[in-house]
């Protein structure tokens, strides 16, 4: 009986496994998009894009949000629910601020006449950064659900798995953003 208990304990939770499969799919999608960017950037009529400075501010914001959610996990595991609520709220607010800053960056690009038309980095930038923003919005929705649960107390068992899954996803979109920013700075410029 003890051996069965050890095997069950060492297996990955199904939600975590599903998340890792989803992350692998997202990585493949962005790898394909950035690969297509590299191929297209070798065309003669390619127009590079200068990234708006607001994207650096959004990078700092998403890094802070990753720190906040990591601290939220620790607070949840220590059963410090008031601190957990504060940190998950901070993560949610920082996620919304990140999306707002991205919107400002897109508006700045549009004002610079960087559009979908023509050959250039703009068409890729909107698609790639836009898809990333959609993934962040999905994370914000998940954070909102977690926040609601944290304040209503609608949990049947006290398990950190949902918080860990959300944090893993949040760290992933953070790292993905850093990759995309560096990619466009190095390859897209």
Tokens in use for 97?
């601020």
The whole domain housing 154 covers 2-43+50-186
Pair 125, 112: CB distance under 8 Å:
no
Q: How confident is the model at residue 119 (pLDDT cuts 50, 70, 90)?
A: low
Share of the chain residues as helix, strand and coil, in percent rounded to the nearest 5: 80, 0, 20
78 or 14: which leads in pLDDT: 78
Whole-angstrom distance, CA of residue 136 vs CA of residue 175: 12
What was the pLDDT predicted at 61?
A: 97
Whole-angstrom distance, CA of residue 142 vs CA of residue 145: 5
Sequence length of the chain is 189
In the three-class reduction of DSSP (H, G, I as helix; E, B as strand; rest coil), residue 115 is classed as coil
Q: How many domains does the chain have?
A: 1
What was the pLDDT predicted at 22?
A: 86
The per-residue pLDDT for range 124-167, each reduced to its tens digit, is: 888 888 899 999 999 999 999 988 888 887 655 677 788 899 99
CA angle 56, 57, 58 (to 5 degrees): 90
The per-residue pLDDT for range 33-88, each reduced to its tens digit, is: 999 888 888 877 777 788 889 999 999 999 999 999 999 999 999 989 999 999 99
What was the pLDDT predicted at 110?
A: 85
What was the pLDDT predicted at 11?
A: 81
What was the pLDDT predicted at 185?
A: 85
- Measured N-to-C along each axis, helices 54-77 and 81-111 cross at an angle, to the nearest 10 degrees, of 160
In the three-class reduction of DSSP (H, G, I as helix; E, B as strand; rest coil), residue 65 is classed as helix
CATH number at residue 15: 1.20.120.80
**9, pLDDT greater than 80:** no
Whole-angstrom distance, CA of residue 99 vs CA of residue 62: 9
Pair 54, 104: CB distance under 8 Å:
yes
Q: How confident is the model at residue 118 (pLDDT cuts 50, 70, 90)?
A: low
Question: What is the mean predicted confidence (pLDDT) over 4-28?
Answer: 77
What was the pLDDT predicted at 1?
A: 47
């Amino acid at each position: 009986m003890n051996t069965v208990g050890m095997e069950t304990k060492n297996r990955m939770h199904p939600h975590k496994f599903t998340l890792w499969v989803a992350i692998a799919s997202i990585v493949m999608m962005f790898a394909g998009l950035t690969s297509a960017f590299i191929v297209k950037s070798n065309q003669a009529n390619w127009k590079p894009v200068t990234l708006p400075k607001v994207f650096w501010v959004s990078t700092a914001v998403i890094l802070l949000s990753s720190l906040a959610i990591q601290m939220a996990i620790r607070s949840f595991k220590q059963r410090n629910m008031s601190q957990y609520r504060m940190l998950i709220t901070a993560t949610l607010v920082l996620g919304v601020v990140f999306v707002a800053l991205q919107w400002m960056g897109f508006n700045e690009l549009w004002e610079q006449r960087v559009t979908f038309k023509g050959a250039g980095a703009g068409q890729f930038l909107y698609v790639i950064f836009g898809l990333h923003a959609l993934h962040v919005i999905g994370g914000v929705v998940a954070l909102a659900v977690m926040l609601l649960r944290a304040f209503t107390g609608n949990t049947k068992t006290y398990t950190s798995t949902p918080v860990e899954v959300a944090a893993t996803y949040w760290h992933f979109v953070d790292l993905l953003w850093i990759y995309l920013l560096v990619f466009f700075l190095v390859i897209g410029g």
